Structure 1
C-alpha cells in the first residue's frame, strides 16, 4: 500500500509511522512537500491513496487532488482541513473522496484507508473503480448526516442540540419537515418546527430522514429517474428492512435500505429490469447501479455492513456472510417495496422462506397505511 501525503511533514509524522508499526501495517508512506512532484511519480508505481492539505505552496489541495483524479483515477483522494474550516466544502468535495481534520490523526487515516481496502476486496472490479474514479461530480458526502452521527455519539446530546444543528441548513430542515409530515411518518398532527420533529420521531429516525434529504437532493434526475418517487420507495424499503431484521441490527438495515438505490443517481450506470423500463439507462456496458452505489458509500465512509448490503441487495446469495442479515433484509424489503421478484432460492438456503408470506403481508400493510 503506497500512501502519498502532500504537505508539511509536521510533528504528527513520527506518531503516524509509529502507529503503522503498532498495527503491523507494511505500508509505504511518503511525505511530499512539493505538490508538483505528485505528477512526476513513475508510471509503474501509482499511489493507492493521496492525502493533501487544503492550502499548499502555490496551489490548492483540491486542485492537486483533481489532477490526481485525472492521472490516477483509482487512487483514494483525502483532503485535510483545519479545525473549523468548513467554508466552501461543497466545492472541494468534487475532488476529494474523504475529508479529515488537521492535525493528521494516525488512527483516522488508517481507518479511512483500510475501509477502502475492505471495499475493494468486496467490489474488486477494475472497470467499476475506474468508472467511479472518473466521475467528476459525485454526490457529496452527506454533511449533516455525518455531523449528526458524531453528535449522537455524545451521551450528553439533547433533542435541542440536534434541532439546532439541523436548523443551520434551512433547505435540509425544510425537506426533513416535509418528510416528517409525509404519510409514512405523520401521526395526524402537522409538525412545523424541528424540535417537535426530533422529539416525536426520535433521534435515529430523524438521522435517517436527514440522510434521505441529503442523498436524494438536487433538481432533476440522472438517467431519467424521478427522485421524489425514488425517495418514497427508499423510505418504504428502509422502514420495512428494519422490521424484517429487528434487534440490534435493525438500524443498519434501515440505513442500508434507504440507500439501496442511490447508485442510480450516478451517470453511466446499468439499471436492469424494472427501472430500465422507466429510464434510459445507457448501453448496458457501465457498472451495475448497486455496485456503483456501494462503492460511493464506501468512499463516504459508511459502515461496511451497509456498503455490503447495498452492493448485494439485488443478488443476496453472493455476499460473503452466510445467513440472513442486513443484505438479506434489504433485498426482501427492496423487492417488496419496489414490486420486483424476491429471491426465494436464497431465502430457502438461509432457512427463511417460510417467513415470506408474513413479510408480504407486512409490506402490504405498510403500503395501506401510507395510502
Structure 2
C-alpha cells in the first residue's frame, strides 16, 4: 500500500477527492492536508510516496510545497493538480513537479497516472538511483519549451504552425532543429530553411522528442561533461538510432514512436552519469554498458531509469516502454516488431556500424530470443548492409 497525500485549501475539493477515490482504498492510504504547512507536518509523521497539490493556496503555494517535498523526501512523486488559470504558477513549478494535471480530473485518470508513476518506480531496484532521478532538478522537471510544446500537441486542434511558433521562441532550439534536419542523418532532397518545413517533414512526435533531448543535452552539459560523459557523441548516437529505427516497422504509428524513442533511448545515462551514482567512465567497462549497470553499484539499468523518468513526465506509454525495454524487448509480450524492438535493433545496428561492439560482447547484447519470436533474425544482414550503404545509418 502506498501513501498518497492530497493538498488543497478548499475542504470541499478534498472531500470530493476522498469520495471519488474510495474504490482504491485497498491500494492507497489516502492522506489530506488543507495547506502546505499541514502537508509538511503530515510528512514528518509518515513517509509519503506521492504528493498531489493544488497550485494556488494562501501562504505556501504548490510550487513552494513541492520544492520543500523534494528537499525532505526527494524520491516522492510530485504532481500539481491545478486549474487552467494557474498557468503562470505552473510554469514556476516546472523545476519541482513531475507532472501537471488540470482540474477537474477524472478519478480513474488520476488513479491511472499515479499508478503508472509508481509502477515503473517499483521496477527500479536501487534506492540510490530512484533518489537520483527525483532529486536532480535539471532532469526530472520538464524543460519550459517542451512543456509548452506538449501542451499544444495535446490539443485536439494542434497545428504545425503553432508548434513551429513555439520552437521559434528559442533561438538555440531553432538552430538545433534546422541543423539536425539538414544533417546527413535525414538526407532530405532539398535544404530545409524553416522550422515549419522541418516540423512538417519530421512529424509532431519526433519533433517533440527532438526538442526534449536537445533541451536536456543543453541543460545537462556542464554536469555530464564534468562526470566524463561525452554528450555530443551520445546525441549523435541517439540521432543515428532514431533514424534507423524509423525505417524498420511497417506500421506508420509504430515508426513514429520508434523514431521518438530512439532519440530518447539513452536518456537514463544522464542520470547514471551524475556522481556519486556512476563510477569513473574514463575507461570502458569490460561488459556492455547495459550489462555493467546491472552490477550492485547500480542495481538497475539505464533503460529502466530512462523509462521511469519519461513515465514521471507523462509521456505516452508505448514510448515509455520502448525506452525502458530497448535492451530486452523479449520481456514484453509482443509478437510483432514493436517500437521497443525497433529501437533495440537500431541500437545494435548503430553500434555495429560504428565498430563499438568490438571487444565488448556485442553479440550477447542482441536479444536473439525476441528476433526469433517475431521471425526477424534472418533480416539482420540485410538491415546491416542497407544502413552501411547509406553512409549515415539512414535509408529513405
TM-score bin (small chain) = 0.7 to 0.9
Contact 2:120/2:311, CA 8 A, preserved across alignment: yes
Aligned to 2:267: 262
Deviations, residues 157-188 of structure 1 (Å, cap 9, x unaligned):
43322222322333322321222222223525
Moved more, 201-210 or 74-83: 201-210
**Residue of structure 2 equivalent to 1:235:** 239
Structure 1 residue aligned with 2:248: 244
Who is 2:228 aligned against? 224
**1: CA distance, partners of 2:53 / 2:9:** 10
Q: Specify the alignment match of 1:327 in structure 2.
A: 340
Number of residues paired by the alignment?
369
Q: Is the 8 A contact 1:270 1:289 kept in 2?
A: no
- Of the structure 1 ranges 264-273 and 47-56, higher mean CA displacement relative to structure 2 is found in 264-273
Q: Which residue matches 1:68?
A: 69
Cα shift at 1:259: 0.7
Residues 122 and 308 in structure 1, CA contact (< 8 A), matched pair in contact too: no
- Structure 1, gaps ≥5 residues long: none
TM-score, length-scaled by structure 1: 0.83
Listed as ranges, the gaps of 5+ residues in structure 2 are none
Find the counterpart in structure 2 of residue 213 from structure 1: 214
CA RMSD, Structure 1 to Structure 2 (Å): 3.6
Aligned residue in 1 for 2:141: 140
The question of 1:285 aligning with 2:297 is answered: yes
1:108-119 → structure 2 map (5 Å cutoff): 108-119=109-120
8 A contact 1:100–1:108 mirrored in 2: no
- 1:176 is paired with a residue of what secondary structure? helix
Q: Would the aligned equivalents of 1:77 and 1:98 in 2 still touch at CA under 8 Å?
A: yes
Deviation of 1:4 after TM superposition, in Å, equals 0.9
Cα gap change, 1:285 to 1:235, in 2 (>3 Å): same
Does the 8 Å CA contact 2:248/2:342 hold for their aligned counterparts? yes
Instruction: Report the Cα distance in structure 2 between the residues aligned to 1:155 and 1:201, rounded to whole angstroms.
Output: 20
Are residues 139 and 78 of structure 1, via their aligned partners in 2, closer, same or farther at CA, if it must alter by over 3 Å?
closer
In the alignment, the residues of structure 2 paired with residue 102 and residue 273 of structure 1 have an alpha-carbon distance, to the nearest angstrom, of 48
Deviations 1:102-154 (A, max 9, x none): 45554553332122133235435544323323334325325444544453455
